[in-house]
């Protein structure tokens, strides 16, 4: 697949610099390192990074069967040869001394760490038998799949398994990730997904709570775009960053707006107020492509409705917004004028605004600024990611048992009156394990997710996960959750396996990269795709029939066939074999070019417009209210939709009523904990070295953990120096941070970037497992985070916990 | 030929990828928590951080710091054994066999660019697999001083190839590991003597400055101011 050094040198001397132009994946500067290693076998093998979901192309230098260097793949459009710091640590994960080296069966108590090494055949047999028994009893729906970093075909493959097997319980992790944004996009654009941004061509970025240079995705793409807009074009782009904490992004931004936590939506609406009041908005776009801007009268009922314009003019004048957000009135007015006058301008936001108790409406408010200035599907604005055209999966015929299972309600209450817009509610699972669900969980499968580390108020998971009688984890590393499993079927690391990876929404046009074994698997591990296929085949019947492929490589070839047939993009080939060989050499297929103005793909709401007023939200809540009326009627009680809606809204802890509810608005932020007992607010954040929860076992990251506070290897809590002085805390002191759900101990870091009323703790450390470098090091704020929700979307509110701080 | 580097702080994202790429390229060991605590970290490329001001008027600056490759290098002047020397192409190099570990050079360097190998790196056997097998960057022994070499192994290989092909080396043909991975595209590397090179042109920018220029060390690493 990959090119050996001799062949490469031959080509390189013949074609010289043209190599990069023709797209052969030779890293710039690779030649000079062809040097005197004296190795007979020296190659650069394309692969795709898995340190975050960006899916950056990488080239791995392999010398005598050992992976020795990772560089960005210059032909991969998302990272163009560059890599963020996390990209390099693939080597330390591949060669992690504490990897799981083969299938394990638990022999001790849960969490005790006593295992028996078993063979793959036996392991697959145990799983197939257990799953078969549950199906035999008509209980396939009691099987739950909790998954995290599904990439490429993996989610569809798992989904197919669940369909064939018969469980609706696909509980992904996005409700603890950043679901607030996709849900806000769904309400306004009808697209439940992250959106792309044409960063390279924008002149003004107004970013709310998304760490552009540290934690937002796709990392390297954002970093690359930052460099580009600063100095690689005639106009230097401006970045205005809204954040509670003085982050690296805040430091590098042209302007930092130090906002009161959880009030981003109000600020966005204050900005909207100025833009509307001063008539600075894009009137043509608003008239042609939006719904609910002006007041309107319902065609059928003749009822008058309030539009976005009236709402922001009435409710969000700058003085009031200044009061809520702490951002001075003059600043709000100035930023609004700048934002509207600088075209193209784009408003974006991520977890700091979206994963709040009021996150979805915050994000709706922020996103509505893009509609106001016509930055929806426009150069320099928001774009909609298109995917590659994979071959359709073969039709799947669930048998009657599977059909019955699929017909059961989801176990996590997603989509019910409790969490109306949720697709899944990951962090709700402890209550479900404890028996609060519609039925018990009898088997749990975990794929690239670690709830015993990553969920708010983790103690709940520790208490209840033991009640699940059968737990299987596919992790290559001994995570906290894996320690509670009955069976571990360890995956290869990403440098050892076949897998594809479609880029995170960003560039707009379709890009898919290929993972292939860079080195032979080091241990007795198995590609989880292969394992899943083997389990299905062992089960026989309709489940086996749903998987006519021998292994993951066959699945990939099947799915890529249509891309070859369509004959578009960078890889043209006469035969599929040729296409596949080219894909292996280049590491990526893409079809450049973004077609603006395909409104049917961009605006998929009921009105086919950008909805300031969300018809989908109204419809969903009305449906749920009607269902409740029916339920009441079945219980012999009379009720009205209005009364039931009121009950639902109270349950969702929403304050807005009437039209305001369906428009972007500011819901007052909710906190957990008595402000007298817990005077400070806990803010968690992600470092660039964090690798989204999976970097704590890589010394190269731990050694450079927090660049802004010069911290290595250890956790810290950032305190404002004045706050610390009042509490008698000095820099480096050990301190307790206590919330209503628990307390943790870590070192105080006096940091002038910390808000006086907020304590900042980064995620990454505090593992109880995960190998020698991670285990027993630092503090995990998830132990003290209250499990608060934005109930509307079932999303975790990560910034709602009140705490108090004292010297330890 | 005078190799130099220009780091545009306006494009720098403070991501630290340069520092990590340098480690993997040059076999620079990581320091364990205990070694880190004692200050025994080794970073040929480090990020200098300064945060100041009061909330919400907080400010910060992040400066990637390789060896400045001074044209008038104080380290060379003080080295009693000639282990540190300036190559004709301007790279301040180090002969590890000659180094006696006296650390005079570390005291003399105003940039803190030099590190002493205090103890044996502590790493598991499995990590040896990813060592760069290029003999020129073989891991340094305990008791000697090391620092950034402008990835001379990349430079030398590229120069030798150009020579073998009977042509001058092209601008951008060779990049240090930090420049190669630099996410913001902030790090440029090339020949300062070639007026057409990217680094030479960037060095003329009104935003250009050198660290501690007043000391007369004549660094060949230049920075471009933010904003």
- The DSSP code sequence of A77-99 is TTTTT---GGGGGHHHHHT-TTB
SS3 A589: strand
In this prediction the ipTM stands at 0.98
Q: In this complex, do A714 and B32 lie within 8 Å of one another by their Cβ atoms?
A: no
Q: Are B100 and B83 in contact (CB under 8 A)?
A: yes
The long-range contacts involving B128-132, CB below 8 angstroms and separated by at least 24 positions, are: B129/A66, B129/A67, B129/A68, B129/A95, B130/A66, B130/A67, B130/A68, B130/A69, B130/A91, B130/A92, B130/A94, B130/A95, B130/B24, B131/A68, B131/B27, B132/A68, B132/A69, B132/B24, B132/B25, B132/B26, B132/B27
The long-range contacts involving A416-419, CB below 8 angstroms and separated by at least 24 positions, are: A416/A624, A417/A624, A417/A627, A417/A628, A417/A648, A417/A651, A418/A651, A418/A791, A418/A794, A419/A789, A419/A791, A419/A792, A419/A793, A419/A794
CATH classification of the domain holding A24:
2.20.25.90
Give yes or no: residues A187 and A149 share one domain.
no
Q: How many CA atoms lie within 13 A of A584 on its CB side?
A: 18
Give yes or no: residues A444 and A425 share one domain.
yes
pLDDT at A6: 43
pLDDT at A216: 94
Looking up tokens 């995917």 gives A387
Burial label for A117, CB within 10 Å (0-12, 13-18, 19+), is: exposed
Average pLDDT over residues A189-218: 97
List of residues 6+ apart from B153 with CB closer than 8 A: A32, A33, A35, B134, B136, B137
Average pLDDT over residues B49-60: 98
Taking only the tens place, the pLDDT of each residue in A514-566 is 999 999 999 999 999 999 999 999 999 999 999 999 999 999 999 999 999 99
Chain A residues 721-760 with CB within 8 Å of chain B: 751-756
Is residue A264 predicted with pLDDT exceeding 70? yes
- Domain span at residue B100? 3-224
Average pLDDT over residues A118-133: 98
Which of A152, A287, A216 lies closest to A685 in space, CA to CA?
A216
Q: In this complex, do B180 and A81 lie within 8 Å of one another by their Cβ atoms?
A: yes
CATH classification of the domain holding B77:
3.30.70.20
β-partners of residue A758 are: A681
Give yes or no: residues A368 and A416 share one domain.
no
Nearest to A703 among B10, B36, B51 (CB): B36
| Residue percentage of chain A with pLDDT more than 90 | 94
Beta strand pairing call for B46-54 and B57-65: antiparallel
Give yes or no: residues A123 and A214 share one domain.
no
Beta strand pairing call for A143-147 and A170-172: parallel
Is residue B25 predicted with pLDDT exceeding 50? yes
Q: Kindly provide the b/e burial profile for residues B46-57, where b requires at least 16 CB atoms within 10 angstroms of the residue's own CB.
A: bbebebeeebbe
Taking only the tens place, the pLDDT of each residue in A648-657 is 999 999 999 9
Which of A130, A135, A124 lies closest to A398 in space, CA to CA?
A135
Q: Are A346 and A382 in contact (CB under 8 A)?
A: yes
Cα(A372)–Cα(A276) distance, rounded to whole angstroms?
8
Chain A residues 66-105 with CB within 8 Å of chain B: 66-72, 81-85, 87-89, 91-92, 94-97
Residues of A in contact with B187 (CB under 8 A): none
Taking only the tens place, the pLDDT of each residue in A426-460 is 999 999 999 999 999 999 999 999 999 999 999 99
CATH classification of the domain holding A451:
3.40.50.740
Q: Are A771 and A702 in contact (CB under 8 A)?
A: no
Residue of A nearest to B156 (CA): A32
Residue of B nearest to A220 (CA): B183
Cα(A545)–Cα(A187) distance, rounded to whole angstroms?
38
Q: Kindly provide the b/e burial profile for residues A395-434, where b requires at least 16 CB atoms within 10 angstroms of the residue's own CB.
A: eeebbebbeebbebebbbbbbbbbbbbbbbbbbbbbbbbe
Cα(B222)–Cα(B4) distance, rounded to whole angstroms?
8
**Is A775 in CB contact (< 8 Å) with chain B?**
no
What pTM does this model have? 0.95
How many angstroms away from the CA of A30 is the closest CA of chain B? 8
- The DSSP code sequence of A659-715 is GGGGS--PPPP--BS-TTT--EEEEEEE-GGGGGGT-TT-HHHHTTSBTTTTB-SS-
* CA A1 to chain CA centroid, nearest Å: 32
pLDDT at A36: 40
Q: How many CA atoms lie within 13 A of A532 on its CB side?
A: 28
Average pLDDT over residues B59-76: 98
What φ, ψ does residue A568 adopt, rounded to 5°?
A: -105, 170
β-partners of residue A269 are: none
Interface test with A, best of B7, B15, B59, B156 (most A CBs within 10 A): B15
Q: In this complex, do A95 and B135 lie within 8 Å of one another by their Cβ atoms?
A: no
Give yes or no: residues A541 and A485 share one domain.
yes
SS3 A788: strand
Q: Are A502 and A515 in contact (CB under 8 A)?
A: no
How many angstroms away from the CA of A39 is the closest CA of chain B? 9
Q: In this complex, do A752 and B53 lie within 8 Å of one another by their Cβ atoms?
A: yes
Give yes or no: residues A61 and A146 share one domain.
no
Domain annotation covers residue A781: yes
Q: In this complex, do A223 and B124 lie within 8 Å of one another by their Cβ atoms?
A: no
**Is A713 in CB contact (< 8 Å) with chain B?**
yes
Within a 10 A sphere around the Cβ of A113, how many other Cβ atoms?
12
pLDDT at A259: 98
Q: Are A23 and A570 in contact (CB under 8 A)?
A: yes
Residues of B in contact with A39 (CB under 8 A): 133
Domain limit, last residue, from A331, A354, A383: A383
Residues of A in contact with B225 (CB under 8 A): none
pLDDT at A40: 59
Q: Are A808 and A734 in contact (CB under 8 A)?
A: yes
Burial label for B102, CB within 10 Å (0-12, 13-18, 19+), is: middle
Beta strand pairing call for A290-291 and A610-611: parallel
Nearest to A252 among B14, B125, B136 (CB): B14
- Integer-rounded Cα Rg, in Å, for chain A is 26
Give yes or no: residues A229 and A377 share one domain.
yes
Q: Are B40 and B206 in contact (CB under 8 A)?
A: no
Cα(A140)–Cα(A168) distance, rounded to whole angstroms?
9
pLDDT at B227: 84
Return the structure tokens found at A241: 């960053």
Nearest to A703 among B13, B41, B170 (CB): B41
Q: How many domains does chain B have?
A: 1
Cα(A422)–Cα(A424) distance, rounded to whole angstroms?
5
SS3 A484: helix
pLDDT band at A116 (very low <50, low <70, confident <90, very high): very high
Beta strand pairing call for A717-719 and A795-797: unpaired
pLDDT at B121: 86
Domain annotation covers residue A795: no
Structure letter (DSSP) for residue B82:
S
Taking only the tens place, the pLDDT of each residue in A251-260 is 999 999 999 9
Alpha carbon separation from A604 to A184, A187, A230, A421, A792 (Å, rounded):
13, 10, 34, 16, 21
Give yes or no: residues A266 and A340 share one domain.
yes
How many angstroms away from the CA of A456 is the closest CA of chain B? 27
CA angle (A782, A786, A787) in 5-degree steps? 95
Is residue A24 predicted with pLDDT exceeding 50? no
Q: In this complex, do A251 and B51 lie within 8 Å of one another by their Cβ atoms?
A: yes
Q: Kindly tell me the sign of the dihedral angle through the C-alpha atoms of B207, B209, B211, B214.
A: negative
pLDDT at A592: 98
Residues of A in contact with B161 (CB under 8 A): 31-32
Cα(B45)–Cα(A377) distance, rounded to whole angstroms?
41
Give yes or no: residues A211 and A310 share one domain.
yes
Cα(A774)–Cα(A89) distance, rounded to whole angstroms?
14
Give yes or no: residues A354 and A207 share one domain.
yes
Max intra-chain CA distance, chain A: 85
pLDDT at A692: 79
How many angstroms away from the CA of B80 is the closest CA of chain A? 31
Q: How many domains does chain A have?
A: 5
Return the structure tokens found at A322: 């200044």
- The DSSP code sequence of A434-481 is IIISSS---EEEEES--HHHHSSSTHHHHHHGGGSS-EEE--SB--TT
CATH classification of the domain holding A722:
2.40.40.20
pLDDT at A39: 54
Taking only the tens place, the pLDDT of each residue in A693-733 is 778 999 999 999 999 999 999 999 999 999 999 999 999 99
Is residue B171 predicted with pLDDT exceeding 50? yes
How many angstroms away from the CA of A802 is the closest CA of chain B? 20
Give yes or no: residues A538 and A436 share one domain.
yes
DSSP H or E segment with residue B58: strand B57-65
Give yes or no: residues A658 and A743 share one domain.
no
Within a 10 A sphere around the Cβ of A632, how many other Cβ atoms?
16
Alpha carbon separation from A369 to A139, A207, A271, A373 (Å, rounded):
48, 11, 8, 6
Taking only the tens place, the pLDDT of each residue in A311-332 is 999 999 999 999 999 999 999 9
- Cite the beta strand spans of A460-580 per DSSP E: 471-473, 487-488, 499-502, 511-515
How many angstroms away from the CA of B77 is the closest CA of chain A? 31
| Mean of per-residue pLDDT scores for chain A | 94
Alpha carbon separation from A439 to A27, A112, A169, A340, A434 (Å, rounded):
54, 28, 12, 52, 10
SS3 B96: coil
SS3 A286: helix
Domain annotation covers residue A207: yes
How many angstroms away from the CA of B205 is the closest CA of chain A? 12
Taking only the tens place, the pLDDT of each residue in A28-87 is 444 434 444 445 578 999 999 999 999 999 999 999 999 999 999 999 999 999 999 999
- Domain span at residue A759? 680-785
Is residue A9 predicted with pLDDT exceeding 80? no
Domain annotation covers residue A507: no
Within a 10 A sphere around the Cβ of B196, how many other Cβ atoms?
9
**Is B15 in CB contact (< 8 Å) with chain A?**
yes
Chain A residues 229-248 with CB within 8 Å of chain B: 230-232, 236, 246, 248
Is residue A771 predicted with pLDDT exceeding 90? yes
pLDDT at A688: 96
């Amino acid at each position: 697949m990959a090119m050996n050094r001799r062949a490469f040198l031959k080509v390189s001397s013949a074609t010289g610099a043209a190599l990069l132009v023709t797209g052969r994946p030779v890293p710039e500067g690779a030649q000079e390192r062809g040097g005197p290693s004296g190795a007979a076998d020296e190659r650069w093998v394309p692969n795709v990074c898995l340190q975050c979901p960006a899916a950056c192309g990488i080239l791995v230098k392999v010398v005598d069967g050992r992976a020795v260097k990772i560089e960005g793949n210059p032909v991969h459009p998302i990272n163009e040869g560059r890599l963020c710091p996390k990209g390099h640590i693939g080597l330390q994960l591949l060669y992690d001394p504490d990897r799981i080296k083969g299938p394990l069966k638990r022999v001790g108590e849960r969490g005790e760490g006593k295992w028996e090494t078993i063979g793959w055949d036996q392991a697959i047999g145990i799983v197939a038998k257990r799953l078969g028994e549950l199906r035999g009893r008509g209980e396939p729906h009691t099987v739950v799949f909790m998954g995290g970093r599904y990439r490429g075909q993996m989610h569809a493959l798992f989904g197919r398994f669940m369909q064939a097997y018969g469980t609706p319980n696909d509980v992904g992790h996005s409700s603890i990730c950043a679901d607030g944004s996709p849900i806000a996009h769904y309400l306004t654009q009808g697209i439940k997904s992250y959106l792309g941004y044409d960063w390279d061509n924008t002149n003004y970025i107004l970013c709310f709570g998304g760490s552009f240079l540290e934690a937002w995705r796709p990392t390297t793409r954002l970093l690359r775009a930052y460099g580009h807009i600063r100095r690689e074009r005639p106009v230097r782009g401006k970045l205005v960053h809204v954040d509670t904490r003085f982050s690296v992004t805040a430091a590098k931004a042209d302007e930092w707006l130090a906002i009161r936590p959880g009030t981003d939506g109000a600020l966005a609406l204050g900005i909207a107020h100025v833009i509307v009041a001063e008539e600075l908005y894009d009137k043509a776009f608003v008239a042609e492509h939006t719904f609910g801007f002006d007041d309107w009268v319902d065609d059928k009922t003749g009822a008058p409705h309030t539009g976005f314009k009236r709402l922001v003019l009435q409710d969000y004048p700058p003085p009031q917004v200044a009061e809520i957000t702490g951002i001075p009135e003059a600043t709000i007015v100035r930023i609004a004028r700048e934002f509207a006058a600088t075209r193209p301008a784009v408003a974006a936001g991520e977890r700091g605004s979206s994963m709040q108790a009021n996150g979805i409406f915050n994000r709706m408010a922020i996103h509505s600024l893009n509609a106001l200035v016509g930055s929806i599907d426009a150069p320099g604005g928001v774009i909609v990611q298109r995917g590659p055209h994979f071959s359709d999966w073969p039709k799947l015929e669930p048998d009657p048992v599977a059909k019955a299972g699929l017909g059961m309600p989801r176990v996590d209450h997603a989509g019910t009156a409790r969490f109306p817009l949720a697709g899944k509610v990951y962090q709700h699972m402890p209550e479900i394990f404890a028996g609060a669900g519609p039925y018990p969980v009898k088997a749990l499968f975990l794929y690239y997710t670690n709830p015993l580390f990553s969920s708010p108020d983790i103690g709940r998971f520790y208490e209840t996960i033991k009640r699940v009688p059968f737990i299987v984890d596919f992790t290559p590393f001994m995570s906290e959750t894996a320690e509670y499993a009955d069976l571990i079927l360890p995956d290869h690391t990403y440098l050892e396996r076949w897998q594809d990876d479609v880029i995170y929404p960003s560039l707009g046009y379709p890009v898919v990269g290929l993972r292939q074994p860079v080195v032979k698997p080091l241990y007795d591990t198995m590609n989880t795709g292969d394992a899943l296929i083997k389990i299905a085949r062992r089960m026989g019947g309709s489940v086996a029939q749903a998987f006519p492929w021998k292994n993951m490589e066959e699945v990939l070839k099947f799915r890529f066939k249509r891309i070859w047939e369509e004959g578009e993009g960078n890889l043209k080939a006469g035969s599929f074999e040729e296409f596949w060989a080219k894909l292996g050499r280049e590491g990526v297929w893409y079809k450049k070019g973004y077609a603006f103005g395909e409104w049917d793909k961009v605006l998929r709401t009921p009105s086919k417009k950008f909805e300031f007023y969300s018809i989908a939200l109204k419809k969903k809540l009305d449906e749920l209210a009607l269902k409740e009326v029916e339920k009441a009627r079945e219980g012999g009680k009379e009720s009205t939709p209005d009364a039931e809606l009121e009950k639902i809204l109270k349950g969702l802890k929403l304050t807005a009523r009437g039209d305001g509810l369906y428009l972007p608005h500011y819901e007052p932020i909710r906190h957990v904990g008595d402000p007298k007992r817990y005077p400070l607010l806990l803010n968690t954040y992600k470092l660039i070295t964090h690798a989204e929860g999976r970097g704590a076992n890589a010394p190269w990251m731990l050694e450079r953990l927090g660049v802004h506070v010069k911290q290595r290897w250890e956790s810290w809590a950032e305190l404002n120096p004045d706050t610390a002085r009042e509490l008698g805390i000095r820099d480096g002191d050990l301190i307790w941070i206590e919330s209503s759900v628990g307390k943790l101990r870590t070192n105080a870091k006096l940091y002038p970037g910390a808000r006086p009323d907020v304590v900042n703790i980064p995620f990454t450390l505090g593992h109880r497992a995960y190998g020698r470098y991670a285990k027993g090091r630092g503090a995990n704020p998830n132990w003290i985070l209250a499990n608060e929700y934005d109930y509307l979307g079932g999303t975790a509110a990560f910034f709602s916990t009140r705490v108090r701080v004292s010297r330890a | 030929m005078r190799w130099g580097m220009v780091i545009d702080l306006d494009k720098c994202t403070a991501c630290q990828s340069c520092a990590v790429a340098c480690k993997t390229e040059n076999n620079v060991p990581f320091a364990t928590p205990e070694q880190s605590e004692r200050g025994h970290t080794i970073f040929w490329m480090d990020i200098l951080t300064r945060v100041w001001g009061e909330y919400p008027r907080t400010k910060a600056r992040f400066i990637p710091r390789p060896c400045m490759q001074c044209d008038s290098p104080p380290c060379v002047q003080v080295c009693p054994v000639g282990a540190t020397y300036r190559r004709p192409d301007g790279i301040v190099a180090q002969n590890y066999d000659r180094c006696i570990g006296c650390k005079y050079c570390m005291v003399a360097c105003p940039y803190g660019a030099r590190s002493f190998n205090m103890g044996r790196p502590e790493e598991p056997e499995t990590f040896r697999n990813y060592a760069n097998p290029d003999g020129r960057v073989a891991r340094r022994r305990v008791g000697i001083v090391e620092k950034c070499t402008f990835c001379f192994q990349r430079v030398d290989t590229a120069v030798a190839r150009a020579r073998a092909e009977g042509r001058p080396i092209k601008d951008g043909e060779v990049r240090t590991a930090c420049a190669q991975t630099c996410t913001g595209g902030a790090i440029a590397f090339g020949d300062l003597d070639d007026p057409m090179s990217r680094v030479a042109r960037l060095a003329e920018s009104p935003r250009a400055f050198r660290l501690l220029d007043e000391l007369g060390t004549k660094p060949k690493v230049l920075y471009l101011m933010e904003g």
